[in-house]
Amino acid sequence: MREQLIREVEIIPLEVVVRNVAAGSLSQRLGIPEGEVLPRSIIEFYYKKDELDDPMVSEEHITAFGWASPPEIDDIMSLAVRINDFLSGLFLGVGIRLVDFKIELGRLFEGDMMRIVLADEISPDSCRLWDIKTDEKMDKDRFRRDMGGLLEAYREVANRLGIMNENEPVRGKGPVLVSSNDD
Ligand code: UDP
């Protein structure tokens, strides 16, 4: 439960945002009321550059500056759509609407082959998750908008997904040494 298989990828310098419902910067930029269901899912690209506040870019910028090739953009978009379909269903099944999310991707080299893979965490830190019945926010917006109840919301998401026991303490006692070569 505490082990991970890590693969090294060449990270693509893009943040890929998939949106199903208007919120956040989309609502601000285009004046679409938060909560309005979009006519279809929308994929946006942002250039990963903290100093510039991750500006939005188009496929033209991405190909002209060589951040990704046209076939790679196709792969990125179809992966983003598949991830959106999978996650939307997963969250819907536990009464949560997936409003939007951000992912990053990387190039995984295997011998002569290269494929683009998801290279990011998916958590309420990078998704907007609203309760399907009440529209209550269950994500980082609670922190950004100073609403409180962040830990409770994150626990509720984990509980509903069945990945955390309801009675489990939020913070454990820290790592425990289970074997040592010294003795
Ligand atoms: N997001 C993120 N990291 C970023 C920017 C955005 O994880 O650096 C996520 C954010 O949590 C939301 C989605 O991407 O789920 C869309 O964010 P938006 O463009 O609306 O920006 P915001 O207004 O949240 O800054």
Our mutation pick for probing the ligand 1 site, out of 14, 16, 17, 144, counting the most ligand atoms within 8 A of Cβ, is: 17
Our mutation pick for probing the ligand 1 site, out of 19, 20, 25, counting the most ligand atoms within 8 A of Cβ, is: 25
Our mutation pick for probing the ligand 1 site, out of 100, 104, 141, counting the most ligand atoms within 8 A of Cβ, is: 100
What percent of the chain is predicted at pLDDT more than 70?
90
Q: Looking at the CA of residue 28, tell me the nearest atom of ligand 1.
A: 23
Residue 168 confidence (pLDDT) above 90: no
Rounded alpha-carbon distances, angstroms, from residue 128 to 23, 24, 136, 172? 8, 9, 11, 26
**Average confidence (pLDDT) over 108-114:** 96
Measured in Å, residue 134 CA sits from the centre of ligand 1 at 22
- Tell me, what's the pLDDT at 173? 56
- Tell me, what's the pLDDT at 176? 59
CATH number at residue 121: 3.30.470.20
- Tell me, what's the pLDDT at 2? 84
- Tell me, what's the pLDDT at 86? 98
Pocket of ligand 1 (CB under 6 A): 15, 17, 23-26, 54, 100-102, 126-128, 140
Q: What is the mean pLDDT of the chain?
A: 93
Residue 137 is classified by DSSP as: B
Identify whether 59 is part of a domain: yes
Q: Residue 112: which domain range?
A: 10-161
Identify whether 48 is part of a domain: yes
Identify whether 178 is part of a domain: no
Q: How many helices (H) and strands (E) does the chain have?
A: 5, 8
Tens of pLDDT along 46-71?
Answer: 999 999 999 999 999 999 999 999 99
Structural domains in the chain (count):
1
pTM of the predicted model as reported, rounded to 2 decimal places: 0.90
Identify whether 4 is part of a domain: no
Q: What angle do CA 5, 1, 85 make, to 5 degrees?
A: 70
Identify whether 140 is part of a domain: yes
- The two structure tokens encoding residue 9: 């990828």
Identify whether 151 is part of a domain: yes
Q: Looking at the CA of residue 144, tell me the nearest atom of ligand 1.
A: 24
- Tell me, what's the pLDDT at 181? 58
Of 149, 158, 12, 151, nearest in space to 72 by CA: 12
Tens of pLDDT along 112-164?
Answer: 999 999 999 999 999 999 999 999 999 999 999 999 999 999 999 999 999 88
Burial of 93-104, coded b for 16+ CB within 10 Å and e otherwise, reads: eeebbbbbbbbb
- The two structure tokens encoding residue 7: 């693969």
Identify whether 177 is part of a domain: no
Identify whether 21 is part of a domain: yes
Q: In the block, which residue shows the tokens 């074997």?
A: 179
Cα gap 128→121, rounded to integer Å: 14
Q: In the block, which residue shows the tokens 């494929």?
A: 115
